[in-house]
Chains A and B, each alone.
Chain A
């Protein structure tokens, strides 16, 4: 069964195709603003512009034609409204034109499912860290529950905000990581963990007062150490509380080597497994939407409207 999935929740437009559980194409393009952050309208314009090319590339890669596709899937949310609309409209059009079923997929759950597929970890705790999202998710009793999450902004968003203050272009993660590697001087920062939840806005305010007074290498180092310690601590609490023995880190921030190193050490110390997933499937991608759409194929939901605030824990997981 061929499933074509479209991802367009934020600044990445992606098309993936799966043949049952096998990913046979995963193409995408990501908007990189010259300055500042993502402007929703510009993200949508980017997606409209690149949609035909990405779709064609995915089909070429798989050797399929649109008429061969058995099921269309799209990322229903959470995300930015103008971006979400592009994927929803394109997939609706394709499903009508070729008279095939259409399925809406929760973006966060898709991240988790592709992580399970590529790490072969059946029941991990997932630390999902991206620009907009920071959630610790695990399977429990028929749903993916959000065990901990940010109470304000996503961790990637925090890094980008700090990056803007330090004149580092978007996305700031790689540069901050590089700067951090040059320092070993820790500046004490607010460490805000409430139960399993984390909060980042205090750090942003705190760092804004350091700029110009401290070296940016030291700021970057201290920032990374603080926020990643918080995330790994919350992940460990979730593993301990839910008795899970594996962790995966996914989302765009999963590209950070220091975060992975900390996750690995934490797991090693508690005899748990840690696996990183290939970066191709850690960032936003169409393949995860196709694959999750395939998993959900027998449980179609009626509501196919975009859901900008789609919560992970509201989806009933009947296929597990």
Chain B
């Protein structure tokens, strides 16, 4: 088994073309919290991946879930993470992919360019550890808001342009009325502390 990446909550291994994501124990939190979080997140992640895969979204094919070890097994996507190579043109495609995911009623919960892989001409969304099912405008907006912040913090120099491309792509595919989502988007920004816009 080869270690591919050590993330903040999981270690990613590779074995014969299969990716194994194992949620590791965190010594800083008590067992009651740690066990519960690792178990519920792994299980939820596996279920959501299955749901999206069957729904036709580009996600790694989920293979199996091991509750004891808090492991998810999935197919490997051979590609490059957008965090490593990102241009404004990618942003529009991300918008389309996110809209398609939302159309299936799934909120990602951790949308960053590190969680999107480009393989050939396709974009794959990965890491559904904080995902949940919802079709509420407010939850759609929270995903968009997360991605906007991720752009700002990781790709500050192209953030404004990239964000407008992202929205353009998103609006072209989202089946709900964007106006309702937009209202919540503004609301989330204003709800944060020390907003200077009011």
Contact = CB atoms under 8 A, between A and B. Distances in A.
Interface of A: 77-78, 132-133, 140-143, 145, 147, 149-152, 154, 186, 188, 191, 193-196, 225-226, 229, 232-233, 236-237, 239-242, 261-263, 265-266, 268-270, 307-311, 313-314
A103 B19 CA distance: 54
A152 B194 contact: no
A194 B27 contact: no
Q: Which one of A188, A241, A307 has the greatest number of beta carbons of chain B within 10 Å?
A: A241
A232 B28 contact: yes
B156 interface: yes
Given A143-B156, A241-B114, 11 more contacts: A140-B153, A145-B156, A233-B8, A261-B28, A262-B29, A265-B28, A269-B28, A308-B194, A309-B193, A309-B195, A313-B152
B157 interface: yes
Given A186-B30, A269-B26, A269-B27, A314 B36 contact: no
6 contacts: A149-B193, A152-B191, A195-B109, A241-B112, A241-B154, A307-B196
Contacts of A265: 27-28
Contact of B194 (A141, A188, A242, A310): A310
Interface in B140-198: 142, 146, 149, 152-154, 156-157, 188, 191-196
Given A140-B153, A141-B156, A239-B8, A229 B33 contact: yes
B157 A141 contact: yes
A268 B194 CA distance: 33
A194 B195 CA distance: 19
Given A149-B193, A309-B195, A194 B146 contact: yes
Task: Report the interface size class on chain B.
Answer: 20 to 34
A191 B33 contact: yes
B32 interface: yes
Contacts of B111: 195
Contact of A195 (B30, B33, B146, B192): B146
Contacts of A193: 130
A285 to B, nearest CB: 20
A232 B193 CA distance: 20
A233 B9 contact: yes
A311 B156 contact: no
Contact of A191 (B37, B188, B191, B192): B37
B157 A151 contact: no
B7 interface: yes
Contact of B196 (A194, A195, A232, A309): A309
A195 B157 contact: no
A237 B8 contact: yes
B110 interface: yes
Contacts of A241: 8, 112, 114, 154
B130 A150 contact: no
B108 to A, nearest CB: 9
Contacts of A263: 28
A186 B28 contact: no
B110 A195 contact: yes
Nearest to B198: A309
B196 A314 contact: yes
Contacts of B130: 193-195
A193 B27 CA distance: 19
A152 B194 CA distance: 11
B82 to A, nearest CB: 13
B16 to A, nearest CB: 27
Nearest to A236: B8
Nearest to B146: A195
